[in-house]
Amino acid sequence: MSPWERFVLAGRQAGCPADQLSLFERAGLVLQPRQLAASAAARACDAPGGPTAIGYGGARGGGKSHWLLAQMGADDCQRVAGLKCLLLRKVGKANAEHFDDLRLRLFAGLKHDFAGYRGVLTFANGSRIVAGHFQAEKDIDAYLGLEYDVIGIEEATTLTARKHQDISTCCRTSKADWRPRIYSTSNPGGVGHAWYRARFILPFRDGRETDTRFIPARVDDNRFNNPEYRRILEGLSGWQKAAWLDGEWDIAAGQFFTTFRRDVHIVEQFDDTRAVEWFAALDYGFTHYTVCLLGCLDGDGNLFVVDEHAERKWLPDRHAAAIKAMLARHGLTVDRLRRFVAGADVFSKQSDGSTVAAQYGKLGISLRPANMDRVNGWAEILQRLGDVEGAIVPRLFIHQRCGRLLETLPALQHDPNRPEDVDKVDADEDGQGGDDAADALRYLVATKPRVIVQRKLRGL
């Protein structure tokens, strides 16, 4: 089998259409299997109702940048005339050099002009790629209001969620034969780690992708990496090794719960009959999420978080009904719980003198104050998570149905002014992010049963 035949076979296995492979052949490009999978996902954007955002990320050295420009220039720009593409990357000088190096390698077989001083590459059919850059996030504003048929973002985790949303508004088209799309490459870590993980990684991991597709990258995907490069990555330690060598998205710079492991701490099944004690914890919000966690201890002292209620912009009566339904799924009622605790704001008096706790009380849910000691609460969670690499056995496990908690916990960062505390963060306007579920877990773990000491009264 010739090299081209092997390439075509790999492309077909990845889901690439025949005309896409022909365009790569015309450009003299032979993409590797994982790159072909990303290109197949890019073509899925053509279909009505198909994805509009393709993410390709993970380990360093996986060939992501090579793929991004190849897809935009050798496929998209060749099949649609007059396409206008933006390739955006942080730091201008590096972007210009990087762009020019890739252009010379990728497009030697395609007729094009390159205006280096403007950073614009134009193909024979009028399609063009604009090499954009930013040093500070305010530089993104220079592109707002412009229209791009395709936007490619290198190292997307260098952008905050707000700036990514801003630049996304520029991805639109007036062409009847084109669906606009955004391609992004990424590495774990950076200021945009949390939003990228929520938007791309979790839907991919949970099998619920709709408008996004994610292709995980590994260093071994790129056969052109020199052996020394892999050894450099293997020589790293901590979050950098996990993120840059293994492409691990549950590990990042500044992460608080570094010992959390999905394959260790998440359980798919739990037999409720193992529980010897049940309890619940509530973190209240309206604009932010209200999160209620149901937990239990087994006979060995392991703590399981077995269920979760998480909603926003609901009133207490609706939450109360949902919480009772959650308990009922496990054959429980409120009076079966050893304790049901909540954060301090539930007990604060409102302008009319009432409290949220009193409202829940009228609905049949009696709450008592949780232990609000943040530092010791987080420390107890860390202790219960254990450390599999240090041979410390974990004693805290979370059921996979607790989606909000599992999304929140790995994303929490150290408070830079108080490293033993978690950095306080609120959910954005769309409900992404926030620490509400983690606060509920802290209440659940750190609040102990009330002990009543009885003293005998002695007669005089």
Domain contains 230:
no
**Which residue has better confidence, 221 or 35?**
35
Domain contains 113:
yes
Give the CA diameter of the chain.
107
Task: Clarify whether residues 73 and 121 are in a common domain.
Answer: yes
Domain contains 253:
no
Task: Clarify whether residues 335 and 273 are in a common domain.
Answer: yes
Mean local confidence (pLDDT), 228-246: 75
Task: Clarify whether residues 276 and 216 are in a common domain.
Answer: no
Looking at the predicted structure, is the pLDDT value of residue 349 above 50?
A: yes
Q: In this predicted structure, what is the pLDDT of residue 457?
A: 42
Query: Rounded mean pLDDT of the chain?
Result: 88
Q: In this predicted structure, what is the pLDDT of residue 8?
A: 87
**253-282 pLDDT per residue, tens:** 678 888 898 889 999 999 999 999 999 999
In this prediction, residue 456 has a pLDDT band, given cuts at 50, 70 and 90, of very low
Looking at the predicted structure, is the pLDDT value of residue 451 above 80?
A: no
Which range scores top for mean pLDDT: 4-8, 396-400, 452-456?
Answer: 396-400
Looking at the predicted structure, is the pLDDT value of residue 338 above 60?
A: yes
Domain contains 22:
no
* CATH number of the domain to which 419 belongs: 3.30.420.280
Looking at the predicted structure, is the pLDDT value of residue 162 above 90?
A: no
Looking at the predicted structure, is the pLDDT value of residue 429 above 80?
A: no
Domain contains 350:
yes
Domain contains 231:
no
Q: In this predicted structure, what is the pLDDT of residue 378?
A: 94
**78-137 pLDDT per residue, tens:** 999 999 999 998 875 555 667 778 888 889 889 999 887 788 999 999 999 998 887 777
**Which residue has better confidence, 186 or 133?**
186
Q: Which residues of 273-303 are buried (b: 16+ CB within 10 A; e: fewer)?
A: eebeebbbbbbbbeebbbbbbbbbbbeeeeb
Q: Rounded to 5, what percent of the chain is helix, strand, coil?
A: 40, 20, 40
Task: Clarify whether residues 68 and 191 are in a common domain.
Answer: yes
DSSP 232: H
Task: State how far Cα 301 lies from the chain centre.
Answer: 32
Mean local confidence (pLDDT), 154-174: 90
**385-417 pLDDT per residue, tens:** 998 878 899 999 999 999 999 988 888 888 878
In this prediction, residue 428 has a pLDDT band, given cuts at 50, 70 and 90, of low
* CATH number of the domain to which 97 belongs: 3.40.50.300
Task: Clarify whether residues 137 and 56 are in a common domain.
Answer: yes
Looking at the predicted structure, is the pLDDT value of residue 223 above 80?
A: no
Q: In this predicted structure, what is the pLDDT of residue 252?
A: 67
- Tokens in use for 393? 């056995």
**Predicted structure pTM score:** 0.68
Strands 150-153 and 128-134: unpaired
Q: Which of 396, 428, 395 is nearest to 409 (CA)?
A: 396
Q: Helix (H, G, I), strand (E, B), or coil: what is residue 300?
A: coil
Task: Clarify whether residues 292 and 391 are in a common domain.
Answer: yes
Tell me the residue range of the domain where 172 lies.
Answer: 43-223
Separation of alpha carbons 292 and 270, rounded Å: 18
Task: Clarify whether residues 403 and 267 are in a common domain.
Answer: yes
Strands 53-58 and 212-217: parallel
Assess contact for 40 and 15: CB atoms under 8 A. yes
- Of all residues in the chain, the percent with pLDDT exceeding 70 is 93
Domain contains 235:
no
Total structural domains within the chain:
2
Point out the domain boundary residue: 172, 205, 223.
223
Mean local confidence (pLDDT), 440-455: 73
Q: In this predicted structure, what is the pLDDT of residue 449?
A: 66
Q: Which of 294, 292, 293 is nearest to 316 (CA)?
A: 292
Q: Kindly report the CA angle at 186 between 180 and 191, in degrees rounded to 5?
A: 105
**Which residue has better confidence, 389 or 457?**
389
DSSP 162: H
**354-384 pLDDT per residue, tens:** 899 999 999 999 999 999 999 999 999 999 9
H helix or E strand, kind and range, residue 283: strand 275-283
Neighbours of 419 (CB within 10 A): 11
- Tokens in use for 166? 């801003």
Domain contains 80:
yes
In this prediction, residue 458 has a pLDDT band, given cuts at 50, 70 and 90, of very low
Looking at the predicted structure, is the pLDDT value of residue 446 above 60?
A: yes
Task: Clarify whether residues 213 and 335 are in a common domain.
Answer: no
Assess contact for 343 and 284: CB atoms under 8 A. yes
